[in-house]
Amino acid sequence: MSKNPIHIIGGGLAGSEAAWQVAQAGVPVVLHEMRPVRGTDAHKTDGLAELVCSNSFRSDDAENNAVGLLHAEMRLAGSLIMSAGDANQVPAGGALAVDRDGFSEAVTKKLEAHPLIAIQREEVPGLPPADWDQAIIATGPLTAPGLAQSIAEATGADALAFFDAIAPIIHFDTIDMDICWFQSRYDKVGPGGTGKDYINCPMDKEQYLAFVQALIDGQKTEFKQWEGTPYFDGCLPIEIMAERGVETLRYGPMKPMGLTNAHNPTVKAYAVVQLRQDNALGTLYNMVGFQTKLKHAEQVRIFRTIPGLENADFARLGGLHRNTYINSPTLLDASLQLKSRPGLRFAGQITGCEGYVESAAIGLLAGRFAAAERLGYAPSLPPLTTAFGALLNHITGGHIVSDDEPGKRSFQPMNVNFGLFPPMEAPKTEGKRLRGKDKTVAKRHAITSRALGDCRQWLGLPAQAAQAAE
């Protein structure tokens, strides 16, 4: 079998983790990082795995939080990013936050010291050459223009995005269906539809006018200077539409035409907020047309004034920002390999995941998959019940493509969250019926317990060794 090196482009969190996993499997690696030969608008150093924004890896609670569960699974898989994070932890309550300089230095030193890893400081201006038969592109949101152009040419003009235009996504089981109802506008069935494909949240005139004013008055985030202002009519932020006139939203994403309130058929809603199923599991729904630059706390406050969403739990909040990523569900196979070019994989944020930990986790998987193929094995995919598998499935196949908006990109980056996992019922307690928050907590404990057990089995860890790894 060939022991030619696997080439990895990009020395961020995903590329660094991928390189580590490949080398730990006994396969040589060439890690290509363009800094300091070519800098970016956001990076300040030439260190590998530099954290350009927050220094937090978010919650480290593996029992109650999906990202904490991902931390635990990565530790079980021998993650370099997690070991460096743990070694450089700073006080942050229940979160894992790190000394950013110490963290980057630790990752850089580990990679430089590994006998199977060669680090080349150079820009790779285009797609890997044909003689790089196994390669991983892990260049993230700040992909160099030349490489980005090559990816666009190889994948199609509409397959590479440079900005997120993200609407909030809500956990289905937190929507009040005593107020909301299922219906497509004019009961349109459409391809794969039933005529009841949207959840509808009705507003009367007073509620609508107050909502529009709240959007206008709400605190917004600003674009960083290097991002520019990518507004175009196809993805205007909801608050920008509100500023164009009080009736704009009623004739746009909140139009009430063609909808009849199933709970009160004789009363016509003045405006309607629609939610569309976002994943194949049916556990997540997105707010149609609600991409926004409102600050996160403002989104929660304002959007919970929508009838039926008073107790909404958001799987992710909206945003509009620079983020180079590909349309992974159509381009990549289940092992993150480009369907049109076997041996070329993508990893990290460019695949359509959000967050430091998620990016590193996808790098970890891409590295393991590439190493397996180099060693002559078929890649072993993580179970869908694990955090690894849930995140991978969202990227490569769990997302629903909108049939009623042909040509429009509907795939959006996302953090790991419990809505991506196959659902579980809360375990029954003898003599006690769980409700509300207690039921939600019990469900999450069941999901995390199942995930860790399945992850140990996937990794081939005996129970005692797995406990020690945690």
Q: Which domains does the chain have, with CATH numbers?
A: 4-158+325-416 (3.50.50.60), 163-319 (2.40.30)
Q: Which helix (H) or strand (E) holds 201?
A: strand 198-203
Asked if residue 77 belongs to a known ligand binding site, the reply is no
The angle subtended at Cα 141 by Cα 137 and Cα 146, nearest 5°, is: 60
Query: What is the DSSP pairing of strand 344-346 with strand 135-137?
Result: parallel
Asked if residue 352 belongs to a known ligand binding site, the reply is no
- Does residue 2 surpass a pLDDT of 80? no
Asked if residue 13 belongs to a known ligand binding site, the reply is yes
pLDDT band of residue 193 (cuts 50, 70, 90) is low
CB atoms within 10 A of CB 336: 25
Buried-exposed string 351-377: b where 16+ CB fall within 10 A, e elsewhere = bbbbbbbbbbbbbbbbbbbbbbbbeee
Asked if residue 10 belongs to a known ligand binding site, the reply is yes
The angle subtended at Cα 30 by Cα 333 and Cα 138, nearest 5°, is: 40
Q: What is the pLDDT of residues 132-191, one digit of tens each?
A: 999 999 987 777 777 888 888 888 756 665 555 678 989 999 999 999 999 988 887 655
d(CA 194, CA 403): 12
Q: Which helix (H) or strand (E) holds 70?
A: helix 66-76
Average pLDDT, the chain: 86
- The pLDDT of residue 157: 55
- Does residue 79 surpass a pLDDT of 70? yes
Tokens of 444: 């999450």
222 vs 108 pLDDT, higher one: 108
* pTM of this structure: 0.78
Tokens of 153: 């040419």
Asked if residue 12 belongs to a known ligand binding site, the reply is yes
Q: Where are the beta strands (DSSP E) in 60-192?
A: 89-90, 95-98, 117-121, 135-137, 160-166, 169-171, 181-182
Rounded to the nearest 10°, the torsion over CA 184, 188, 194, 196 is 20
